[in-house]
Structure 1
């Protein structure tokens, strides 16, 4: 099976393998692929759990980039209701390598609020968990700007691939369990991901992100239990093309 279909198949299966018991829902790692001053990137992503993220990045100079994102999840299911709002800001270094690839290194922080209400048809609400979220992260992106072209459905589809690794230190603040103060857990998460981009029209790409989420500490409420899988759209304007 070619790499692209195989990677896409794995991406589609990941949500089925992930649980939903953590108070932290990781936003997709942002991979703006900046190459020169004045370039900007924007993205909109979601997944089957309805964890949606809006992202943006801008090249302040030929090697300095800034990025930000806002993610949110609001569901009200029979057994569980969840409200999760989170924002991130980052700054970092990017450069174009001799093999037509882009290397980016970012660091930043995030803040948010999370709440989960658990219930059963017989008992009603059985448990309420709510807390603030603080996060510090570092992230490395390494990918090619060159694209391979596949002829499918009567047209050419330029495709590119890349990888990213994000390490995050996340803490709960003012954690309350059933309205009572509880221990503020913390954890260190490692999120290696791969992604595939397919050009749809001009600078607009479809993007499919798949990856893993590892928690380095054993925690009850703040653990790596939610999928990093995302799909969405990405736009890059003002940058260098693949061969430059």
Structure 2
């Protein structure tokens, strides 16, 4: 039996290997855009279904699903929501995405996916002064187009707990988006639309739990190409969630040839 201390060290190294450390200082960012986590269903065959629920330390919840409706073709969707109250501000963010993509299974237990999609939602923030009096309100609607590439491979390493082995897999998602803030208002006064091109390199680690269920840690950073005050890539991607995958290739998930 492996000592618990050694198991915990192995899991920590595995999670760090699969994710870029999240940037510090999320609080206090002025951006009105909180990037939803990229979807990475890693589909392998027709009629496979993928679903996930995840969250992070900022209470940004994400619900995702994907379905392979044909050989190598799939549709995917994401809904992300953040509602939080702090002493100095209140933030609300609701955003949905839909995409279609191509997937294929490569030799040596590797998977490649390419998606293109659209997104939209609403965002607002109310800032307060020290005496809790609202000092400023910012609000608007968001529109987004994006392309994304996912790549993952099943490694031979496993997490050992007691007499059980939990297979590990690692992957990368690269997303390039154009995001625009429309109907932008500050204290009710209309502002010009703001746009930004955002690049999100994200990595993830998955631990096979039991049956179709997996635990996933996804982390990365968003980089904006156009500096501006209210739609900058200031919020990193960091999500911990549970995945269910039904109808896929059992040989790939079990790590066999």
Distance of 2:229 and 2:99 partners within structure 1: 28
Residues 202 and 85 from structure 1, CA distance in 2 versus in 1: closer, same or farther, beyond 3 angstroms?
A: same
CA contact (8 A) 2:154 2:168 kept: no
Aligned to 2:40: 31
From 48, 63, 71, the counterpart of 2:72: 63
Instruction: Give yes or no for the alignment of 1:126 onto 2:109.
Output: no
Q: Shift of the alpha carbon at 1:5?
A: 2.3
Q: Of 10, 13, 16, which aligns to 1:6?
A: 13
Counterpart-to-counterpart distance in 2, 1:78 and 1:153: 45
Matches within 5 A, 1:11-160: 14=22, 16-19=24-27, 20-122=29-131, 124-145=133-154, 148-160=157-169
C-alpha distance in structure 2 between counterparts of 1:91 and 1:56, whole Å? 12
RMSD: 2.0
* Long gaps (5+) in structure 1: none
Provide the secondary structure at the position in 2 that maps to 1:14: coil
CA apart distance, 1:155: 3.1
Equivalent residue in structure 1 for 2:237, among 223, 228, 238:
228
Deviation at 1:77, TM superposition (A): 1.3
SS at match of 1:8: helix
Q: Aligned partners of 1:161 and 1:3: how far apart in 2?
A: 15
Distance 2:198 2:10 in 1: 27
Distance in 2 (CA, whole Å) between partners of 1:27 and 1:189 is 12
How far is 1:21 from its partner? 2.1
Tell me what 1:239 maps to: 248
Q: Is the 8 A contact 2:198 2:222 kept in 1?
A: yes
Q: Is the 8 A contact 2:123 2:140 kept in 1?
A: yes
* Offset of residue 230 of structure 1: 0.5
Q: Deviations over 1:9-68 (max 9, x none)?
A: 585952534353210000100000111100010000111111111000000111100000
- In the superposition, the TM-score normalised over structure 2's length comes to 0.89
Provide structure 2 residue ranges, at least 5 long, that are not aligned to the other structure. Answer: 1-5
TM-score, scaled relative to structure 1: 0.93
